[in-house]
Amino acid sequence: PIGRAQRELIIVDRKTRKTAIALDSIIIQNQAHSLTNESDKIYSIYVAIGQKRSSVAQIVKKLEDAGAMNYTLIVSATALEAATLQFIAPYSACSMGEYFRDNGMHALIIYDDLSKHAVAYRQISLLLRRPPGREAYPGDVFYVH
């Protein structure tokens, strides 16, 4: 189980439905939202970084069909967006989560996927002529995550 105030990293092989696990985590929050106590509700923030627009549309459709959009925010920086927008999207979602926290509520933030965030950061760093490290990633890429 995922506890509050924790970070969970899902590392599995490619094509093993990591996004489905994340979406199920959002959809299961319906039970908490049926409660009347505001302090028990969990608001979800899904961050789509560097994904295709069609994939994001499918995710939104699945959440709408499950009735989860009443308590879910979608932050999307698709593959067609500039690298700077893909870079800033997780920080925007974190700020939204901090809003819920500061107002005594709970938030579940799902970043999908941070490897594409690292690619966007690499593009920005190379354009700014920062010294590249291994595989052209900047040396501070690990501090970004």
Task: Please report the pLDDT score of residue 38 as a whole number.
Answer: 76
Task: Please report the pLDDT score of residue 64 as a whole number.
Answer: 96
**Domains contained in the chain, CATH given:** 18-114 (3.40.50.300)
Helix (H), strand (E), coil (C) string for the chain: CCCCCCCCCCCCCCCCCHHHHHHHHHHCCHHHHCCCCHHHCEEEEEEEECCCHHHHHHHHHHHHHCCCHHHEEEEEECCCCCHHHHHHHHHHHHHHHHHHHHCCCEEEEEEECHHHHHHHHHHHHHHCCCCECHHHCECCHHHHC
pTM of the model: 0.86
Predicted confidence pLDDT, tens digits, the chain (145 residues): 566 777 778 888 877 788 898 999 999 888 777 776 777 788 999 999 999 999 999 999 999 999 999 999 999 999 999 999 999 999 999 999 999 999 999 999 999 888 898 889 889 988 888 887 777 777 766 667 6
Please give the Cα distance from 10 to 27 (Å, whole number): 18
